[in-house]
Amino acid sequence: MGSAAGHHPPRASRVRRAAAVAFLLTLAGAGCQTGPRAAGPGGVSTPASAPTVPASPRTVPVQAPAGGGTYAAFCGAGAGCPTGGVPSALRRPIHLPHIPAGTRCPVSAPGRKVYRNQGKAIGRGPVYVLSFGSFGRTAILPFVLPSRAGLFGGSAWGGQVLKFIGAPSYHGPVLIRGRKLTEPGGLGFGAGKIPLAVMDVPGGAAGGVGLNPGGWRLWSGYARLRSPGCYGLQVDGTTSSEIIIFRACLSSNSVRQTFRCGRPDQR
């Protein structure tokens, strides 16, 4: 009996040793867990699931101005509308300035009457921009929001009439682009539900689209906006590139043309 005891420990000792090994294995397993454990049914620990994030309501993003690159944006692809768009050389980098939010908008100098049949226009030429009301004197453009019974129904973009006039000294193609100067995007062209990002204008040689008596060219359109602020236009021709800066305010009647600004907080 004594000899056997020397080779085989008592049963109680073996039980204690097995329990100690099991405890160490349990600790090692706990150290390998990658996340917290939560108590399951009956108090048994189970891996905790990731926190549930409530689904936010789905919102439809406002579609940014898109398209352009063809003269159809200017003349509607009607009879006499040339095919294609302006030469690629006119698609120069945009060099509109960035204006910090809250900074005074450095609007272009007051306009002057460059063509007897039109009001005052802003710009140094050969392409000028004009609109209604006091725009030619102040470079401030009151715009309206979309309305079901008025302008731009079904669109997320409001806007205002913006016309361009080209001097007889230049009959070449013109590329017009723009943006809000305090943030990317924010300015389009045309009357569509989704405004155009650019406006390609064909050359106006004799017999061309948009030629007026005396060699002046005039083309009407819309600047499309969503909020008041400081905006810039880059007007590129084959012999010039010009920046025109204006300030947009919400019309005193937000859905009807008044050509006057609304409250100060809407400017």
DSSP state of 254: T
201 touches 85 (CB < 8 A): no
Q: What are phi and psi of 219, to 5 degrees?
A: -135, 135
Burial class (CB in 10 A: 0-12, 13-18, 19+), 118: middle
Write down the mean pLDDT value for the chain: 79
Parallel, antiparallel, or unpaired: how do β-strands 241-250 and 229-237 relate?
antiparallel
Q: What's the confidence (pLDDT) of residue 211?
A: 59
Q: What's the confidence (pLDDT) of residue 56?
A: 47
Q: What is the pLDDT of residues 147-160, one digit of tens each?
A: 988 889 999 999 99
What CA–CA distances, in Å, run from 158 to 44, 147, 148, 166, 187? 61, 9, 12, 26, 10
CA distance 226 to 23: 68
Q: Percentage of the chain with pLDDT > 70?
A: 71
First-residue to last-residue Cα distance in the chain? 105
Nearest-10 Cα torsion for 255, 256, 259, 264: -40
Parallel, antiparallel, or unpaired: how do β-strands 140-143 and 45-47 relate?
unpaired
Contacts of residue 102, Cβ cutoff 8 Å, sequence gap at least 6:
none
191 touches 260 (CB < 8 A): no
Q: What's the confidence (pLDDT) of residue 94?
A: 93
Q: What's the confidence (pLDDT) of residue 46?
A: 43
Q: What are phi and psi of 68, to 5 degrees?
A: 100, -170
Q: What is the pLDDT of residues 121-133, one digit of tens each?
A: 999 999 999 999 9
At the top level of CATH, the class of 105-266 is mainly beta
Q: What's the confidence (pLDDT) of residue 17?
A: 53
Strand partners, 225: 158
pLDDT band at residue 114, thresholds of 50, 70 and 90? Answer: very high
Map out the domains of the chain as residue ranges. Answer: 105-266
Q: What is the pLDDT of residues 195-253, one digit of tens each?
A: 999 999 988 754 445 556 678 888 888 999 999 999 999 999 999 999 999 999 999 99
Peptide bond into 110 cis (omega under 30): no
Contacts of residue 251, Cβ cutoff 8 Å, sequence gap at least 6:
142, 143, 144, 257, 258, 259, 260, 261, 262
Count of beta carbons in the 10 Å neighbourhood of residue 122 = 24
CA distance 256 to 151: 8
Long-range contacts of the stretch 97-100 (C-beta < 8 A, 24+) = 97/181, 97/232, 97/243, 98/181, 98/182, 99/181, 99/182, 99/230, 100/182
Indicate the pTM of the whole model: 0.74
